[in-house]
Amino acid sequence: MRIVVALSGTVCLALIGLGADLARGSEGQIGNGSTVVFTAPKSTVNLNDPKVIRAGGRIFAQTCAYCHGYQGTGGRGPRLKGRKGLTTDYLYVTISNGRVIGAQSMPPWKYSFSPHKIWELVAYVRSLAAKHNAPSQ
């Protein structure tokens, strides 16, 4: 009897763990012990909803614009406006983990923002990427 209880407990824990993984996407630890997001979780927002895009835009203006420009036209960070090939998965993972290539770096945002807020940012950056990179737009 005790074995059955212990076993079902383990199964339950495994299922809870699996549920959390689906909500978070896949994560893992790298050599220095920090957690890295490998794939985006299932989106919690409608990426085309103007309200979601506006919410992402507000976070972007406060947190991202000083490096990427208010219209995403670039600065210390690369231009995001009018960019092709920025997939939602790539955006989610890159914004979560941050990026370092040579001397250029972006801090990870997964400690500052919930997955939901990161999805709002993804929606906004997608909307920027879909625009033409003309100064008037």
Enumerate binding residues for ligand HEC (CB under 6 A). Answer: 60, 63-64, 66-68, 76-78, 80, 91, 94-95, 99-101, 104-106, 109, 121, 125
Contact at 8 Å (CB) between 81 and 72? yes
**Residue 77 vs 82, nearer CB to ligand HEC:** 77
**Residue 2 vs 132, nearer CB to ligand HEC:** 132
The tokens for 70 are 């208010």
CB of 4 to ligand HEC, least distance (A): 48
**Residue 2 vs 84, nearer CB to ligand HEC:** 84
**Residue 21 vs 38, nearer CB to ligand HEC:** 38
Nearest partner of 44 among 119, 123, 125, judged by Cα: 119
Question: Residue 132 corresponds to which amino acid?
Answer: H
The tokens for 75 are 């600065």
CB of 114 to ligand HEC, least distance (A): 12
CB of 73 to ligand HEC, least distance (A): 13
**Tokens 């896949």 belong to which residue?**
26
